[in-house]
Amino acid sequence: MPKTTVQVTESTVETSDGDTRETKQYRVTIPKQMAEFFSLEQGDELEWSSGSASNKMEVTVHKND
């Protein structure tokens, strides 16, 4: 199975009251083989949760039918 890399984007945003705060967003891509296996389409949702081990995670596919 292919591996993907986590991409991190950090930025400073201004709030409505004039203060600033730091934000950090994480993004990963889904390997094409997984998207095709689960027949993922635009609008489908992925629910991420902790797995049974400290370095595992589970993903549940919610189809937008």
Contact 40, 30 (CB under 8 A): yes
Question: What backbone phi and psi angles, to 5 degrees, belong to 16?
Answer: -65, -25
Q: What is the pLDDT along the chain (65 residues), one digit of tens a residue?
A: 788 999 999 999 999 999 999 999 999 999 999 999 999 999 999 999 997 888 898 999 999 87
